Amino acid sequence: MIDVRLKERRDAPTRRRHPWIFSGAIDAASGNPAPGETVRVLDAAGNPLGMGAWSPESQIRVRMWRFDEGPVDEAFLAGRVAAALAVRATMGERFATDALRLVNAEADGLPGVTVDRYGDTLVGQFTTVGAERHKAALARALLAQTGARSFYERSDVDSRAHEGLAPTAGLLAGDEPPGHIVIHEGETRFAVDVRGGQKTGFYLDQRENRRLVAAEAKGRTVLNTFCYTGGFGVAAQKAGAAAVTHVDVSEHALGQARANTELNGLAGATFLRANVFQALRDFRDRAQRFGLVVLDPPKFAETKAQAAKALRGYKDINLLGLKLVEPGGLLATFSCSGAISPADFRMMVAAAALDAHRTVRILRELRQAPDHVESITFPEGLYLKGLLCAVE
Ligand code: SAH
């Protein structure tokens, strides 16, 4: 076992159980660990702090598996999986769904490991060399403990490059999953493309927000920007929206939104292929207004350094989006950039409301769905935030 010693006074985050150790905090290693190898972490005085995975190419040099001494083996990993499943044991029933995030990386004590369940299919994403090293054992544990039939890997993400890993995707264990998996959220059904979809195929993190937005949609005209699979708009239409317009730049996404509309026995929605920044200006110029505008853009900031520029992008669409809301209407606005805090986001919407000359009241603060658990010691895990607003 290789020991990794931290510099003087650089052990505080690890003692607070923050799972990341940056390269600058490390004094020396007693050997040359392989990528993903488990190392023992010591403070400057040689006291053990726990065990982590060595990432030689990443600025985050060690990701902690555990904050005590012990093995990181199949039994340990199976225990972490069991704990993750236990905390979600009643969620499927409570949220009336067969699609849940089962493992949420650091927050579940499994850095670099994300696993979503879509019916009988599990879809995993392994973004670090530590996760990569143990992915077969994790897939085995997850299949055994859930009774699911397939474990499909979607590690085709750019962030693997920071770890010196190439993107990869394919069947990891069990049977080939079906081409499309139909999942449900309450009465609403969605087809999930686990091979070709974004992330693991579906934005489960918006489940609760789809329900809250749909509950406000009856009788309203809805503009669903950045629609992807149509989630917000389909749920709104199902709940009795008067009209729904979906906007996305991707034809593939619009195809999925169309398919999900039909899957729910709905018709008459509009599917617009456009850049949302332009589409919002076109609606404004044509004086077209909506009773409910949803803004759910992709991540504008990957890092804190990009936050200021990202906030200008968010403000642009929020300013335009607010102008399109008819008096007495609603705005549901989101950011999935972890680098933007809820307070920053709220200030941005406040500035947009001032510039748009609209009075905005917050009906509800929105967050990622509860199966995307957060760890109290890892605030970075909160990434999705939003506001449901009444607009005058
Ligand atoms: N609201 C969706 C998730 C949105 S993901 C849901 O609830 O499931 C972001 C989507 O924005 C992707 O489908 C992507 O194709 C689209 N997108 C990204 N940039 C865009 C742009 N400038 N204009 C229009 N669509 C864009």
Q: Which atom of ligand 1 is nearest to the CA of 275?
A: 23
Strands 188-192, 2-6: pairing is unpaired
Kindly report, residue by residue over 150-190, the tens digit of the pLDDT. 999 999 999 999 999 999 999 999 999 999 999 999 999 99
Q: Are 74 and 132 in contact (CB under 8 A)?
A: no
Asked if the model's pLDDT at residue 208 lies above 90, the reply is: yes
- Ligand 1 and 248: CB distance under 6 A: yes
- Ligand 1 and 231: CB distance under 6 A: yes
Lookup result for tokens 């499909």:
152
- Ligand 1 and 277: CB distance under 6 A: yes
- Ligand 1 and 255: CB distance under 6 A: no
Please give the DSSP secondary-structure letter assigned to residue 358: -
The residue-averaged pLDDT of 41-63 equals 98
Q: b or e along 293-332 (b: 16 or more beta carbons within 10 Å of the residue's beta carbon)?
A: bbbbbeebbeeeebbeebbebbbebbbbbbbbbeeebbbb
**Which SS3 state, helix, strand or coil, does residue 24 take?**
helix
The predicted pLDDT at position 57 comes to 97
Q: Which atom of ligand 1 is nearest to the CA of 277?
A: 22
Mutate to test the pocket of ligand 1, among 226, 282, 294 (most ligand atoms within 8 A of CB): 226
Query: Of 46, 58, 50, 48, which Cα lies nearest the Cα of 22?
Result: 58
- Ligand 1 and 233: CB distance under 6 A: no
The predicted pLDDT at position 303 comes to 85
- Ligand 1 and 249: CB distance under 6 A: yes
Residue nearest to atom 21 of ligand 1 (CA): 275
Q: Mention every residue, 6+ apart, whose C-beta is less than 8 A from residue 249.
A: 273, 274, 275, 276
**Residue 138 Cα, ligand 1 centroid: separation in angstroms?**
31
- Ligand 1 and 298: CB distance under 6 A: yes
**Residue 199 Cα, ligand 1 centroid: separation in angstroms?**
12
The residue-averaged pLDDT of 35-61 equals 98
**Residue 110 Cα, ligand 1 centroid: separation in angstroms?**
28
Asked if the model's pLDDT at residue 304 lies above 90, the reply is: no
Asked if the model's pLDDT at residue 205 lies above 90, the reply is: yes
Cα→Cα distances 104→86, 125, 368, 372, Å = 13, 10, 11, 6
Helix (H) or strand (E) holding 261: helix 251-263
The predicted pLDDT at position 2 comes to 98
| Catalytic residue IDs | 336
Helix (H) or strand (E) holding 308: helix 307-324
**Which SS3 state, helix, strand or coil, does residue 26 take?**
strand
The predicted pLDDT at position 302 comes to 86
Q: Which atom of ligand 1 is nearest to the CA of 206?
A: 7
- Ligand 1 and 81: CB distance under 6 A: no
202 vs 206: CA distance, rounded Å: 9
Kindly report, residue by residue over 314-327, the tens digit of the pLDDT. 999 999 999 999 99
Beta bridge partners of 360: 391
Mutate to test the pocket of ligand 1, among 204, 228, 260, 273 (most ligand atoms within 8 A of CB): 228
What are the two backbone dihedrals, phi and then psi, of residue 50, each rounded to the nearest 5 degrees?
A: 145, -165
**Residue 24 Cα, ligand 1 centroid: separation in angstroms?**
36
**Residue 228 Cα, ligand 1 centroid: separation in angstroms?**
5
334 vs 390: CA distance, rounded Å: 15
**Residue 248 Cα, ligand 1 centroid: separation in angstroms?**
6
At 301, the pLDDT band (50, 70, 90 cuts) reads confident
Strands 221-225, 243-248: pairing is parallel
CA atoms within 13 A on the CB side of 53: 26
- Ligand 1 and 203: CB distance under 6 A: yes
For helices 276-285 and 307-324, give the axis angle rounded to 10 degrees: 30
When the pLDDT of each residue in the chain is averaged and rounded to a whole number, the result is: 97
Q: Are 114 and 124 in contact (CB under 8 A)?
A: yes
Residue nearest to atom 12 of ligand 1 (CA): 228
29 vs 281: CA distance, rounded Å: 56
Kindly report, residue by residue over 256-290, the tens digit of the pLDDT. 999 999 999 999 999 999 999 999 999 999 999 99
| HEC secondary structure over 38-61 | EEEEECCCCCEEEEEEECCCCCEE
> 139: buried, middle or exposed (CB in 10 Å: 19+, 13-18, 0-12)?
buried
Cα→Cα distances 379→25, 64, 133, Å = 20, 15, 26
64 vs 49: CA distance, rounded Å: 9
Kindly report, residue by residue over 82-126, the tens digit of the pLDDT. 999 999 999 999 999 999 999 999 999 999 999 999 999 999 999
Distance separating the N- and C-terminal Cα atoms of the chain: 63
The residue-averaged pLDDT of 326-345 equals 97
**Residue 366 Cα, ligand 1 centroid: separation in angstroms?**
18
> 162: buried, middle or exposed (CB in 10 Å: 19+, 13-18, 0-12)?
middle
Percent of the chain with pLDDT over 90: 98
